Amino acid sequence: MAVQISGNDITVPRDGTFSRNVSIAGTLTYEDVTNVDSIGLVTARNGIEVGASPGVAASISVDGNMIVSGITTLGSDVKIGTGVTLSPDGNAFFTGVITATTFSGVDTDKISEGNTEAEVVDTGSDGHFKVTTEGTERIRVGPSGQIGIAGANYGTSGQVLQSQGSGSVVQWATPASGWVHAAEITLPTNASTYTFTGIPDGASHIRYLIRYMSFAGTAQAKVQLQKSTTGGSTSIISSNYISFSSYFYNAGNAGGANTDGIDLFDAYSAPANSFFGMVEIFRIGTNGSDGTNYLIQHFGVNHGGSNAEATFQSNAYIELGTGSTDFISGAKFYANTGENFDNGYINQSYLLS
C-alpha cells in the first residue's frame, strides 16, 4: 500500500526511510524505539524505565521518584534541598540533625578537631574520660570518679589542685600549713545523721563548732569518728573508744562512760533544748610503732528556751592500731534513738602542720 495523504495527515502503512531531515511541528508518538537522540526537551508522560522487564535497572516515575538498582556515579556535588550536600571527595555536609540507630565505621566515642579531642574509653575495668589538647592528655576522670592530671596521675590523699598561672598546667600539691575552714553546714531535718569528710592525712588538729543543735524528739546526741586508709577507703569507727561524758547544773552533776562513741551534751535530750559547743580532735603520733592515735574533747552549753541550764564536758581517746597508716578523715554526728535533726549548724576546720 502506498503513502496516503488526506488533508494535513500522512499515513505510511509500511516501514519508512528518510534520507534527509524530518521536521514535526506537533507531537511525535512512537513505540519500540532503539535509540533516541534529542537536542531539546524530552517529555515522558508515564515515566522512564531503563532495561528490559522484568528486572528494570532504573526508573523515574511521573511523581519525581527515581529508583536505581545499580551503582550511580556523579562527578560533582549532590544537593538535597538546601540542607544536605554530598561532595565528590566523600564529605557530607548537613545543616540539621542526623538521627541513626547505629553508626558503622564512625569513631562514636571521640570528638576531635585537629590534635585536640575528648574521648570516652572503656576497657571493661578501666573506663575513663579524657581530654587532650595539642596532642597531649591534660585531664582525666577515672573509673571511680577520681580526677587525673596529664593521665592517670590522681595525686595522693589530702592533696589539692593548685594553679600554676595562665600559661602552665595545673598540678597536685600538698596544702600549706595552717587552718583550713569549710563552710558551715545546716543539719538536715529529714535525717538523723550527718557525716563530715575531707580531712587530709596531714591534719594534726580537727575542730567542729556546733550551734543551735536540736532533735525532733528525745535523743542523745553522739559523735563517731571516720577513718580513712591511704588507699582512699573510709569507715565509721563504732567501738574501742575510751570515753566519759558529764554535765553540770545547779543541782549537781552526773555522767557516764561509752565505748561506741562520744556523748555530746550528755543526758540533755528534750526537743526544746538547743545545744552550743565544740568538738576538738588532736592527733598523737604519725604511723609509729603504736600507730596513729587521737585524743578527743568536747565542751558545750544547753539553752532550754529561756536561759542556760547546764554545761557539758566529754573526753575520749582512740587508737587506730599498731603500725597503722589509717587516719581520721571526718566525723559522724547522730541521734542514738534515730530521731531526725530539728535544727542546727556545724562548721568543720582542720589544722595542717
Distance, CA of 25 to CA of 31 (rounded, Å): 19
Distance, CA of 173 to CA of 157 (rounded, Å): 10
With cell 500522512, the residue in question is: 10
> 16-25, 98-107, 203-212: lowest mean pLDDT where?
98-107
Q: In the structure grid, which three cell numbers stand for residue 294, read together?
A: 587521737
Give the start-to-end residue ranges of the domains of the chain: 110-154, 179-352
| Predicted pLDDT at 103 | 60
Is the per-residue pLDDT at 216 higher than 70?
yes
User: Which CATH architecture is the domain 179-352 placed in?
Assistant: Sandwich (2.60)
Contacts 24+ apart (CB under 8 A), 6-9: none
Coil/strand/helix, residue 37: coil
pLDDT in tens, 300-314: 999 887 777 889 999
pLDDT in tens, 235-291: 999 999 999 999 998 888 889 999 999 999 887 777 788 999 999 999 987 655 566
Q: In the structure grid, which three cell numbers stand for residue 143, read together?
A: 573509673
Instruction: State CA 294 to chain mean position distance.
Output: 37
Q: Is the peptide bond before 54 cis (omega within 30 degrees of 0)?
A: yes
pLDDT in tens, 12-65: 776 667 777 777 766 666 666 677 777 777 777 777 777 665 556 677 787 777
Q: Please, what is the average pLDDT of the chain? A: 84
- Residue with the bigger pLDDT between 33 and 345: it is 345
pLDDT in tens, 316-325: 999 987 777 8
| Predicted pLDDT at 258 | 94
Distance, CA of 281 to CA of 295 (rounded, Å): 6
Percentage of the chain modeled with pLDDT above 70: 86
93 to 74, 111, 133, 229: CA distances (angstroms): 17, 17, 26, 54
